[in-house]
Amino acid sequence: MYYQHVCVESLAYTLPDEVVTSDELEARLAPAYQRLRLPEGRLELMSGIASRRFWSPGLLPGDISVVTGEQALLAADFPRDRVGALVHGSVCRDYLEPATAAGVHARLGLPALCTAYDVSNACLGLLNGILQVADQIELGRIDAGLVVGTEDSRSLIETTIAYLNRETSLTRADMKRAMASLTIGSASAAILLVHRDLSQTGNRLLGGTCLAATEHAALCRSGRDEAAGGGMQPLMNTDAEELLHQGVTAAQACFPQFLDRLGWSASEIDKTICHQVGKAHRKALLEALDLAPERDFTTFEVLGNTGSTALPATWAMAAEQGHLTANDQVALLGIGSGINVIMLGMQWQQARIGRGSESQALALATA
């Protein structure tokens, strides 16, 4: 993939108000920990995740995505009647049918000629959305497109805790396969892409590469049809160590193609934004790709792994906090269960960042 006419005009994110620490989760797991004689503190020690956040019960992903998408449009001061595509890319969605994008499209007041649909690809859904919108802009089909999504970890973590405490036959190995679920957090993110001729920022999306290592699809898997609906009670089974190993291996295979596509060397990458899994994954990935940790920006310590929103929300926060500066060559390195890899490169210039609030989403939901 190579783009000549695509710019990232704005980024936006929304975070929940409720902060839940790893210590609090482990306190709730006391029955399981005592039964298996596990020491407290292992969750943060192993993952580097001190906290994650929960949305208020009853909020739907679409309610929050409307707020985040609105903030992206406001930050760019971009006319919504020029938006030609809306992609909702998170694992979490309102209903199996219709597409969550349909409700978000309506409440954002986007034009009838703006296509609206959902994309699902584990932790890479929003990055896939970026590619699809960028392709349409490059082909001249649309002037601009909005990619948005919202992940909600409350149901997964609540169900996991109840399961681990209830099932007295579980072993330490069973506990280990469930621990990754306790690292999941909640967040919302949006990206507005526009044709270069309409851009006020000049943040050029240059291109990138994708790689599929789907022989490892079973390493992280939830139950069937449990990704949708506010009443879900999901459980996930994750071989975290093997997923880390195979994910980094897939990234190593993709990275040389990514550099070749953009004409970069690893040393010419000024900043990196990676998918936010935890400290072990970050260390292994950066070392494998020979990338400097000081050029990377992380949020997993306080937000956990927020799925498809992890990389774009971290990207927005990195820009907001001045980690990205003019003329930086930025690598967006996404690895998701499946296993799929998406690596995108861009030339950064200036930040236009929108930030929503949970109170806005609550007001919208009760209106």
* 89 neighbors 308 (Cβ within 8 angstroms): yes
* 123 neighbors 339 (Cβ within 8 angstroms): no
Told to judge if 97 belongs to the known catalytic residues of this protein, a careful annotator would answer: yes
Cα 213 from chain centroid? 19
What Rg do the C-alpha atoms of the chain give, in angstroms? 20
Catalytic residue, chosen from 7, 92, 114, 123, is 123
CA distances from 189 to 148, 198, 306 (A): 6, 22, 10
Task: For residues 118 and 192, give the distance between their C-alpha atoms in angstroms, rounded to a whole number.
Answer: 16
Told to judge if 287 belongs to the known catalytic residues of this protein, a careful annotator would answer: no
140 in helix, strand or coil? Answer: coil
DSSP E strands: which ranges in 23-164? 51-54, 83-88, 115-118, 144-151
Task: For residues 106 and 50, give the distance between their C-alpha atoms in angstroms, rounded to a whole number.
Answer: 37
CA distances from 100 to 53, 61, 118, 134 (A): 22, 8, 7, 21
Neighbouring residues of 44: CB distance < 8 A, sequence distance ≥ 6: 22, 23, 50
Cα 208 from chain centroid? 18
> Which tokens hold the place of 256?
């040389």
How many Cα atoms occupy the beta-carbon half-sphere of 342 within 13 Å?
Answer: 23
* 279 neighbors 256 (Cβ within 8 angstroms): no
Helical (H) or strand (E) element with 220: strand 220-222
Task: For residues 278 and 301, give the distance between their C-alpha atoms in angstroms, rounded to a whole number.
Answer: 7
Pairing of β 115-118 and β 296-297: unpaired
Catalytic positions, please? 97, 123
